[in-house]
A = this chain, B = another copy of it.
Amino acid sequence: MVWFKNLIQNPLIKTSSKSLLKTTPRPATKNFVLFSLSHYYNFYTTDASSSSSSSAATAAAVNQSSGLGPTAAGEKPRVVVLGSGWAGCRLLKDIDTSLYDVVCVSPRNHMVFTPLLASTCVGTLEFRSVAEPIGRIQPAISKEPGSYFFLANCTSVDADNHVVQCETVTDGLNTLNPWKFKISYDKLVIALGAEALTFGIQGVAENAIFLREVYHAQEIRRKLLLNLMLSDVPGISEEEKCRLLHCVVVGGGPTGVEFSGELSDFIKRDVHQRYAHVKDYIHVTLIEANEILSSFDDRLRHYATKQLSKSGVRLVRGIVKDVKPQKLILNDGTEVPYGLLVWSTGVGPSSFVNSLELPKSPGGRIGIDEWLRVPSVQDIFAIGDCSGYVESTGRPVLPALAQVAERQGKYLASLLNRVGKAGGGQANNAKDIELGDPFVYKHLGSMATLGRFKALVDLRQSKDAKGVSMAGFVSWFIWRSAYLTQYRFEERLAALQVLQVMWRTKL
């Protein structure tokens, strides 16, 4: 044990205690290495609507209209990306940061792998596993002098002056008052996604949980476990126990079906073991106005219906009329008491998208042409669920799917890279540059999981086309492979390409 004793007598230990300084702390005002000071620019416009000042005014409450000014002639042009979903992140990943500075503005500092979100609600996957920090998708935003990620919402777009106005998000924490700033862009990419639809039904927003963000999944998990514990408390009536443990899912699309499947798995595996006292009280009901998985092949739909029923999910055809705190009411007057209500009836344009004075597609999305440009304005592009072809293109609006968004992001990154290389990166400078082929979307197929080891894969181009559709364990394996391979874009794409080859060769 000589080495050990030597270590104990390490001379490092014989230090005087004077390093426990008695000085008072001072804010670090030295050694500031301020990158890209040239980008910090004062717009000299007084913003009358700065209603953000609250009680705890900070020393920073001056300069409320600061921001990043226009890039100078010798500087890299700046691409501003609004949003951090499938479309925005794919673009961020592929954009050439030797050509452009990139600035991402989003209220969320990570990308969510939405198809895996349902699995995190019951602990099949960890929350951390379905989220990827933006800084890892595009390292330049945390290192390069002119590239940034701002945790903020965009509040308006000034297309004429090539400027967006933003406001910080503080996530309910008392740390900094909402802060307004402006960013000049050379190219603007709007990739803000869509919002959950509630069809104007009262009480949905207050009482139901959506399943679109990591914090939704966390809330679902928390409420489910809380209800399991509370239902075991002595004296709770049978009726109340049933209500607490009744999990209702509204909407029979892939998300609703996948979540129902995960829930019934959770009941079979975990509740029976870890909450044995109440295992016979817990039930899952899936309410859908039409058919579940309506975009899938008939056979697959029937398979899904059978599998879900077999695993204990009650499928109910009904239309929700009203949502109260502990029960919902269907159109026919039936009252459905619930302890947990998950709402997943599709998505539509957000109120911010509605407010934008830009051309629109049928259905109210931001209008785009075949090159994903917003017509009638310069240097603005829109991709993903927030965008749709304008009527004049003669093309149908694409479905709100991850694969559409991701491929639009990829396409636009290569378009912008081509423009940048040709010297058209700066604002109002790309008019004479060849944009290349327009964007073409080819549907690779639809996938949905039905819980453990069962999934559906539909590899047809459209509902009425011919092609391969399958169900069962192999589908589940393909589904998991497609999404779970370390969440790398390339690997997920490779898995999708395998499916594509299978489809092309008709197996």
Residues of A within 8 A of B (CB): 1, 4-5, 7-8, 10, 12-17, 19-25, 27-29, 31-33, 35, 39-40, 42, 56, 58-60, 62-68, 109, 126, 128, 133, 135, 142-143, 148-152, 168, 170-171, 173-176, 179, 181, 183, 207, 222-223, 225-227, 229-230, 232-240, 242-244, 246, 248, 273-277, 280-281, 283, 285, 287, 291-292, 298-303, 305-306, 309, 314-318, 325-326, 330, 332, 334, 336-337, 339, 468-474, 507
CB <8 Å contact, A243 and B150: no
Q: CB < 8 Å: which of B68, B171, B226 contacts A222?
A: B171
User: Which B residues are CB-close (under 8 A) to A29?
Assistant: 238-239, 242
Q: Return 17 A-B CB contacts under 8 Å, by A number.
A: A4-B474, A7-B470, A7-B472, A12-B306, A13-B471, A15-B303, A21-B317, A22-B317, A27-B243, A56-B325, A63-B235, A65-B235, A148-B232, A148-B277, A170-B226, A174-B325, A176-B240
User: Which B residues are CB-close (under 8 A) to A283?
Assistant: 28
Known interface pairs A229-B109, A274-B142; A19-B181 also in contact (CB < 8 Å): no
In the docked arrangement, what's the CA distance between A469 and B298, Å? 72
User: Which B residues are CB-close (under 8 A) to A40?
Assistant: 234-235
CB <8 Å contact, B472 and A181: no
User: Which B residues are CB-close (under 8 A) to A151?
Assistant: 226, 229-230, 233
Q: CB < 8 Å: which of B15, B239, B299, B317 contacts A20?
A: B317
User: Which B residues are CB-close (under 8 A) to A325?
Assistant: 56, 174
CB <8 Å contact, B20 and A66: no
Known interface pairs A171-B222, A302-B13; A152-B25 also in contact (CB < 8 Å): no
A150: shortest Cβ distance to chain B, in Å?
Answer: 6
Q: Say whether chain A's binding surface is mostly helix, strand, loop, or mixed.
A: mixed
Work out how many copies of this chain go into the complex. 2
Known interface pairs A142-B277, A229-B109, A299-B14; A332-B244 also in contact (CB < 8 Å): no
In the docked arrangement, what's the CA distance between A92 and B280, Å? 26
A41: shortest Cβ distance to chain B, in Å?
Answer: 8
In the docked arrangement, what's the CA distance between A17 and B302, Å? 5
CB <8 Å contact, A234 and B276: no
Known interface pairs A60-B239, A316-B24; A276-B181 also in contact (CB < 8 Å): no
In the docked arrangement, what's the CA distance between A330 and B176, Å? 23
A318: shortest Cβ distance to chain B, in Å?
Answer: 7
CB <8 Å contact, B19 and A305: yes
CB <8 Å contact, B234 and A149: no
CB <8 Å contact, A142 and B275: yes
User: Which B residues are CB-close (under 8 A) to A168?
Assistant: 230, 233
CB <8 Å contact, B176 and A23: no
